[in-house]
A and B are shown apart, each in its own frame.
Chain A
Amino acid sequence: MFDFFLTFIPRAIIQGTPLLYGSTGETLTEKSGNLNLGIPGIMYVGAISGVIGAFYYESSLPGPEAFNGALAVAITLGANLLGSLLMGLLYCFLTVTLRANQNVTGLAMTTFGVGFGNFFGGSLIKLSGNEMPYLALNRTSLAFRTPMPGASTTGWFGQLFLSYGFLAYLAVILSLVAAFVLKRTRVGLHLRAVGENPATADAAGINVNRYKYAATCIGSVIAGLGGLYYVMDYASGIWSNNAFGDRGWLAIALVIFTIWRPNRGILSAYLFGGLYILHMYIPTGTDLAVKELYKMAPYVVTIVVLIISSIRNNREKQPPASLGLSYFREER
């Protein structure tokens, strides 16, 4: 039994980490009143941007011995951040400055982002001359996957807690920081006010648009890291088109599941990750069909949470009141 957990939990954590990034980013975004349905696209763009960075770094090297892990990580991260930031800015420009409908904009961004990811992914695969439909960035990935010191010497403890690449820990740290900022700082207070009641925030002298821009862009960047983690760590640096799948939507589901609390996101993300791979550990294992039903679980659970929270109508457990609406001072 213990052995089971020892293999199951790390896998759930690895599976859950991209979701955790996505949901932390989306939670911040939604707290400002922006329902960014472009998150799946942003995670794709983040991932491919990182891959592009890594690819060009790796192929610019004269030989394998010239590889510098820290530099590879820096370049990959930089490209990743830039890609997701630009997507965040695009979303803000359309929805905040031009006050376009958030749902339509988000969906268009997802179409664009997924296409962008697959297009450049496909192009890079072709450039690399690989016969198989994927691109392998083993060396950069290894740098990302370097476990914490002591992972292999501390037995089960190391396996459970130290065996992950740094991005897995960063996800936890970011969600804790996000929770802290939202709950304990003035910036967080103002951000919550913006998402709940922009008119009141405006009257209190808070720059609504600036907060929306900042929260959405930071949220995009964090979500983009989730995409990067997926390729570089979970997939061991192997990009193949569409492999990221519907994880972006799952991240949005996770936001609802955690009732807009990033700190709850950590365990919930691992739970979702666990649900996602649970089918592999089910004794009926031979029936492949059933595993698809298990994959349904996160979505069913999310709907149940959504329904229960609307029926109980507890004010603490609702989406930010102005979620999905653009703010225009002169409208009232």
Chain B
Amino acid sequence: MANKVKEPLIHITRRDAIPWYKSWGYRAGAVLLSMAVCALITVLTTGENPLSVFGTIFDASFSTQRRTWVVFQNLAMLLCVSLAVVPAFRMRFWNLGGEGQILAGALATTACMICLRDALPNGVMIPVSLLCSIAAGALWGFLPAFFKAKWGTNETLFTLMMNYIAIQLVSFFIIVWEMPKGAGQIGIINQSTEIGWLPAVAGQKYLLNIIIVSVLTVLMFIYMNYSKQGYEIAVVGESVRTARYVGIKVERVIIRTMVLSGALCGLAGFLLVSGTDHTLTTSLAGGRGFTAVMVAWLAKFNPIWMILTSFLLVFLDKGASDISTNFGLNRSFSDILTGVILFFIIGSEFFINYRISFRHSAKKEEEKHV
């Protein structure tokens, strides 16, 4: 008897796995495509020829040494937050609270720098504020993790809300500490004494941050791949049942991992205040908590891919903001380009995870799945 079942024209099945070079090929293709679209948008809005646009973008990051340092500083900060959210994601825990955890850490550092400036010498101040910021970030990570482990409270929404609590806390303290009164901002803290400022290494004020984050990248890579805790995180993320079967205390792993994640965001806050900005604003985190989520997710926790993705985003961000100054556009231009690139990378995941086959070959596939 003829099979009269109407088959869909396109049949989509999940792929087993594709070799790494293919999946990277898809991603690279997506990036190239997105660059083309970005170029098109830029050309349309500026009327400039594409080559000079790319020239501007490149110059923005590499035309002067100072610019290159800034790019690497920004890259380091984004990477630091991305590294921080990696363990949580590996565990399938959506830490969207990076923004708040950074601010919590930054707030703690600022508090130390302002309240203890007369009490502590610089050599003690820096470790103290480092510890405080790590503790503050860890606390911001602990709260949602505790409720998730105990009652399964939705962590996506919880961490999201924690961001705004941190922002309002920071707003509160900015007014408490504002300098001068009524300015609505703190200004550069300890400008004359430089107490609590991270020292410049080899004359470069960003170098220490970059070194710290580089070390952190290596440590995180080791932690995730070669430590028992990293292994436990991977098992819990993959299958809670398997974790219980081998005797892993799932609740403890959830809390421990989120404390770590928050602590590293807190560290990023410390680096931002103590290392570069020397002040506290509500936009200090600059959306890095969210961008990091996308970087970590899209890079599938692969550190090299994370560095590349972060670099791409920072590079374009700088480039786009230069284009906007050069052509009298506005700085938000870079957010549009970032968005476009992200959409393409997000979309490319589909072609990595799924196979699309057309009607004639669909039947065989179906058999497999029944």
A residues with CB within 8 A of B? 35, 37, 90, 94, 98-101, 103-105, 107-119, 121-123, 126, 241, 246, 249-250, 252-253, 256, 288-290, 292-293, 295-296, 299-300, 302-303, 306-307, 310-311, 313, 319, 324, 328, 330-331
B153, A307: Cβ atoms closer than 8 Å: yes
A93–B340 CA distance with the chains assembled, in angstroms: 14
* B145-188, CB < 8 A from A: 147, 151-154, 156-158, 160-165, 167-169, 171-176
- B158 near A303 with CB under 8 A, answer yes
* Chain B residues with CB under 8 A of A114: 332, 335
Which B203-217 residues have C-beta < 8 A from chain A?
A: none
**Shortest CB–CB separation between residue B166 and chain A, in angstroms?**
9
Interface-side segment among B68-76, B109-117, B236-244, B290-298: B290-298
Q: A119-B336, A289-B172, A289-B176 are in contact. Are A299 and B156 (CB under 8 A)?
A: no
Query: Can you report 9 A-B residue pairs in the complex whose CB atoms are below 8 A from each other?
Result: A37-B96, A108-B294, A109-B339, A111-B290, A112-B342, A115-B334, A123-B329, A310-B154, A331-B14
Q: Which 7 A-B pairs have CB atoms at the shortest separation, nearest pair first?
A: A115-B335, A112-B339, A122-B330, A118-B332, A292-B171, A296-B168, A289-B175
Instruction: Name which of B255-263, B273-281, B302-310, B344-352 contacts chain A.
Output: B344-352
Q: Helix, strand, loop or mixed for chain B's interface?
A: helix
Q: How far is the CB of B289 from chain A (nearest CB, A)?
A: 10
With A and B bound together, what is the CA distance between A112 and B338 in angstroms? Answer: 7
Cα-based distance from A33 to B165 in the complex (angstroms): 27
Please determine whether A107 and B172 come into contact, CB atoms closer than 8 angstroms.
no
Within 8 Å by CB of B338, from A115, A121, A330, lies A115
Residues of B within 8 A of A (CB): 12-14, 94, 96, 147, 151-154, 156-158, 160-165, 167-169, 171-176, 287, 290-291, 293-294, 297-298, 328-336, 338-340, 342-343, 346-347, 349-350, 353-354, 369
Asked if A328 and B14 sit within 8 Å, CB to CB, the answer is: yes
A102 to B94, CA, bound (A): 11
Whether the pair A296, B330 counts as a contact (CB closer than 8 A) is no
Check A330–B330 contact: CB distance below 8 A: no
Task: Select which of B147, B290, B332, B353 is within 8 A of A110 by beta carbon.
Answer: B290
Decide: A94 near B338, CB < 8 A? Known: A292-B172, A306-B158.
Answer: no
Q: When chains A and B are docked, how far (Å) is the Cα of A161 from the Cα of B40?
A: 50
Do A105 and B332 touch (CB < 8 A)?
no
Q: In the complex, are the beta carbons of A35 and B332 less than 8 A apart?
A: no
CA distance A293 to B271 in the complex (A): 26
Bound-state CA distance A303–B334 (Å) is 33
Asked, given contacts A94-B346, A292-B171, whether A112 binds B160 with beta carbons under 8 Å apart, the answer is no
With a cutoff of 8 Å between Cβ atoms, the chain A residues found around residue B167 in the complex are 246
Contact of A288 among B13, B175, B291, B342 (CB under 8 A): B175
Additional A-B contacts beyond A290-B172, A303-B165 (15; CB < 8 A): A99-B354, A101-B346, A104-B342, A108-B339, A112-B343, A114-B332, A115-B335, A118-B330, A118-B331, A126-B328, A289-B172, A293-B168, A296-B164, A306-B161, A330-B12
